[in-house]
Every structure is written in C-alpha cells, then in structure tokens.
Amino acid sequence: MKIDKIHIQNFTVFKDIEIQLNEGINVFVGQNGTGKTHLLKLIYGIRPVTKAKLFNEEISMPLFRSHVDRLINDENHHVGTAWSEGIDTNLVSCVEIEFKNSSLESLEYSINIDKDNDDLDDVMVDYYEAFRYSGDLPNDTPDYTFIPAKEILSHSKGLLALNNRFDIPFDETYIDIITSAELPEAKKISQSSLKILDVISGIIGGDVVNEDGNFYINKKFKKIEFSLEAEGLRKFGLLWKLIKNGLIEKGSVFIWDEPDANINPELLPTLAKILLAMEKEGVQIFIATHSYNLAKYLELFRDDNNSVGFYNLYKENEEIYVDYKEYFGKLKNNSIIDSDFDLYEDVIESIEDDSWKNL
C-alpha cells in the first residue's frame, strides 16, 4: 500500500491544495507557517489503523490539540460542497488521501456543520468530524510511524500513565512514539535493516535498551540515560529502536518532522544514506526539513533505484501553494536556497567593505 495523493480543502493554513505524492521519499520544505507539520500530521492521522478499526474517530484534539472549529480555514465558516461523492453538503473542511496498490482506494476526513437551516447567522453551529472510505477493507495494514520534531523518549517514564489518566499537553504523536519505542524487539529483521542498525550503533556508540520505562544507550562500558545524551544522538537512538522493533520495514510508512534538528551537520550525509537505504527496502518516507544540506544530500546520494521527490510549500496572497520537482535546486520560491544566496552576498559585501573591522 502506497499513499498516492492528498487533497486538502479549508483546513488550517490550506485553502485548497492537491499534492501528488512520491512512492519513495517525500521531502517537504518551506518557510515557517506554510503547513509542513500539519501536512505530516494529516498523513499520519488519516490512515488505516487496523482491519477492524480502519481509522481514528477524530484528529482535532489528538493531533492538533485544538477544538475542531479552529481548524477551519474560512473565517466566515461558509458551507461548501466536496469534490468526492458522498460527502455531506454541509461540509466546511475536507481532506482526502488516496492509495494505490491497495484494495482501499481512499480515506476522507471532513469537518461538518450540524444545523437546522441554511442561514448560519441565525443558528447555533456545532461542528463534528467524520471519516469515510471507499474501496474494500485492506487485508493487512502497514505500520505508520511518526517521529515528532521534539525529542520525547528522555521523558518517557510515566508519561503514558499520565496520558491515560489526565489531559496532558502532548499530542498523539508523542504518545504514539513512546508506545512504539517500548514495543518488544522483532524476531526477524531484514539484512538491509541489520546493516542500518550497525551504522547507527557506530554513531551512538552502542544500542538502545528500555528498562522500566526508562531508555538508555547501552555503550561498551556503561549505560547512559537518554536524558544525559546529546539530543542529536538521541534521535539516532530512537531510529535504532524503531528499526529494531520491526516498525520500519518493507511496506511501512515513516514520517519524520525535522530529522535534521539538533543533529551535527557532519552526520547529515549518513542520515541521508540511511533514509535512502530504507526507501530501497520499500519504506515510504515523508520528512519536513529546513536543512539545505539534508535535502541536497538526498538528491546527491540517490541512485536509479531510489525514488525521491521535493516539495516546496510557499505562500502567495495568503494562500499556500506547492511546487514539486525531482531536483531540490529546481524548486521555485525556495526559501532555503534563497537564504543561502543572501548569506553568500553578505559575505562578499563584508569582504569588499572591511570597515566593520574598526568597530
């Protein structure tokens, strides 16, 4: 099962956008506020969970920590019609995700208005979330794994118990990643995954163990608590644990928000090679990044057996658009490249004008 397309209408920063997705690695770039994280959360939230439970009942509070009506990108809350057959005419927002190589054709999430008449100014408006699907139930469902931008494993002890009892200020992606990391190790792992584990073990200096809800990097001479390790190494450690648990294998979907954050730039080439190796194994990958180096390394190191696509989300006239290219450097309105050029020009100007040295 591969995610083929996403169409978003009137949701958070998106007014109406359709994105044809790559079956391999999807790299999303763009300025802050262009919806990269929201896009990743939608891909994660609107997913087949199991054959018995096809999708989550709602995504507003679990994933966005917001009341459903605040997710609507329409200040007047206009009622519209959807592009797909079967959606209620009182729809306000809608997201559709299409699949290929699966009996499940699509999943649709919508925010609807429960109203008694057509004059929205004269009625009390209640919003509700709805999911629909087209196609047959899939015989099996892929593992979806979402790594949030902020590292959370160092705070894992007791967090799941707190979440079960109280309304804590963490969205579902943080709870899910701890749950995934605490799973037992898989009995069988592919040879390609074993090679990746060896590479990561070399970076972090050992392997990762979970003892009574605490995570450690088990090094040659001692165990180091996650909270005492550098955050960049913790990110690699989490990836090691997820692969060891068998969650990132052929046919799975892997979503990582800002994998480059707090990682030493010298490790970005290795990170790019790991992602490319995972994609060759049949993992569909979605990442959002602000790193020119990571995006460029993915372009540089890929070969004919890799499928990589680059997407730039940008804003014009208060609306979000997307530009897709197979080559990172060909993206238009690319703020990452533009900022690098600006820095280069500033360096040239500082060389030509050395008056600053007298300050």
Of the candidates 289, 296, 230, 299, the one whose C-alpha atom is nearest the C-alpha of residue 263 is: 230
Residue 323: enclosing H or E segment and its boundaries?
strand 319-325
pLDDT value at residue 276: 98
At residue 82, the pLDDT reads 45
- As a whole number, the mean pLDDT across the chain is 86
pTM of the model: 0.90
Q: What is the pLDDT of residues 195-245, one digit of tens each?
A: 999 999 999 999 999 988 889 999 988 999 998 999 999 999 999 999 999
Least confident of 2-11, 281-290, 323-332, 348-357: 348-357
Structure confidence at residue 42 (pLDDT): 97
pLDDT for res 117:
52
Calculate mean pLDDT across residues 270-289.
97
Q: Give yes or no for residue 87 having a pLDDT over 50.
A: no
Q: Which pLDDT does position 356 carry in this prediction?
A: 52
Three-class SS state of 311: strand
- Report pLDDT for 83: 44
Structure tokens given for 212: 């009574």
Distance separating alpha carbons of residues 200 and 338, to the nearest angstrom? 33
| 3-state SS class at 343 | helix
Q: Give Cβ neighbours of residue 122 (< 8 Å, ≥ 6 apart).
A: none
pLDDT at position 127 is: 86
* Listed range (6-10, 80-84, 350-354) with the worst mean pLDDT: 80-84
What pLDDT, in 10s, does the model give residues 155-184? 887 787 787 788 777 889 999 999 999 999
Separation between Cα atoms, residue 256 and residue 107, nearest integer Å: 21
pLDDT of residue 221: 83
**Pair of tokens at residue 334:** 């690319």
Q: Give the per-residue pLDDT at 168.
A: 78
Confidence of residue 85 (pLDDT cuts 50, 70, 90): very low
CA distance 52 to 48: 10
**Selection from 266, 263, 214 nearest residue 239 by Cα:** 263
The reported pLDDT for the residue numbered 343 is 59
Query: pLDDT class for 64, splitting at 50, 70, 90?
Result: very high
Give the residue from 159, 160, 162, 241 showing the smallest Cα distance to 200: 241
More confident residue, 152 or 196: 196
pLDDT for residue 353 is more than 80: no
Please give the Cα distance from 246 to 240 (Å, whole number): 10
pLDDT (0 to 100) of residue 158? 78
**CB count in 10 Å sphere of residue 135:** 13
- In this prediction, residue 153 has a pLDDT band, given cuts at 50, 70 and 90, of confident
Residue 116 clears pLDDT 90, i.e. is over it: no
